A and B are shown apart, each in its own frame.
Chain A
């Protein structure tokens, strides 16, 4: 994370310099350079940024609608609603003189108009009709500056308020994440000053009307927030996956509690393995006939729905010091998924088993040391 931050910072300075230089309507060019720069600096950013950009380019309909390399569009994807809370309005002041990019800045005008007619045009904006507001650009822009100044004062004290408003207006459900993003970015914004953040004028008409008044904060933060947004989405996706895996986690919401639950579960599984291995160590000598029976029993399990799993002998269950994770719950999960696998796998198992037993199996080159290691480890 530290290296990410440093990379981002470097990036932002360059981004600011780059944008300050190209003030003309070569927004696309600057956007492209921004993209290339974003891929350039911060080596450990590369996969994230490229992934986020490719993801954005592939997924968003806004991009499909309008110019591809438009940095303002990039901002749209990236910023989302996270632009709404910028604390320092200096970016907006920068915005006003930079306005002339109407040709490419349809989204920009969109932003301005949304900014100007916030309550009115919000439904239109949210539908993503980026092209419709071009003719309004003048009026919007003209109206923007006083509104902007007014909003500057509003925003300086009212970041939580804007957060609430945004939550109210934005039903997308990203709000919690955006709050986090917002806080992070507001800190960064304050820390880095205006010149670093130039290009964050991105309006996202389809998602939020709010915005993005924080005009043109550096592209660096653009890709930064892009990366963060992608990262957060990935994290939440994996948390959802984990939530399905861990039994009894459907009611729990919130990352912290989910993580606690996951940690508990992993610990309990590991303890279970230890306990079972202790038992197996004492029971050991009867393993000679186990293999075939074990595999056949697996087949039975897969087909029959794990009845034997639930039927833990009372002696064993009373001695188990495990928490309340129901044995059937997680045993059913892999079982139900593979009843149709069992048939073709019988033959596979038997042949593989015989082959392995004859050869003295060598699972994979990296695992070849495994056997020796395990036998010698306890010395």
Chain B
């Protein structure tokens, strides 16, 4: 696959947004070079590749201008490698639905985790955990609708929302343990709970999502530099 060796991914292993792109590259069997970034001391490459946000992930394909933002990278990869494991469905309505829920996850659901980390005090944290649980229930309904009885959001195999949500499972497990509450559980989100177990062991994800120890170290760094 000649195209594959031309792909560089700038990222850090504990970042779920970076993991997202790695999962898609795996699903599409694309070879790539992982350029590990030190977020405490950002490289010239990162700063010039993503001058607006200075964040990972950034994809560099051959000599083309770099592409930041995980969801934008995923759509780009899906368009240029359209013949292998399509990530988004082909119909406009299904694509719109998928994009809507990805935006929900990125703008409403996942920011709650960062808020939880930064909020001091039990009462404050309780209020955010409540919002996370409400969010998980919306996601359960979305899963039931998208999967339509099949194992994944994408149907028979992993699709866009499986990747967009799945990349966070290392962190959801970490947050559940750290805060002693269940985000996905038998009573409230039975289908999603089954899905988390299923996807956790999927080929494309299992070597990408970091171990708890890596996440714990990263968490400690975040607490220190971005309290």
Does B associate with A? no
Interface residues in chain A, defined as those with a beta carbon under 8 Å from any beta carbon in chain B:
none
Interface residues in chain B, defined as those with a beta carbon under 8 Å from any beta carbon in chain A:
none
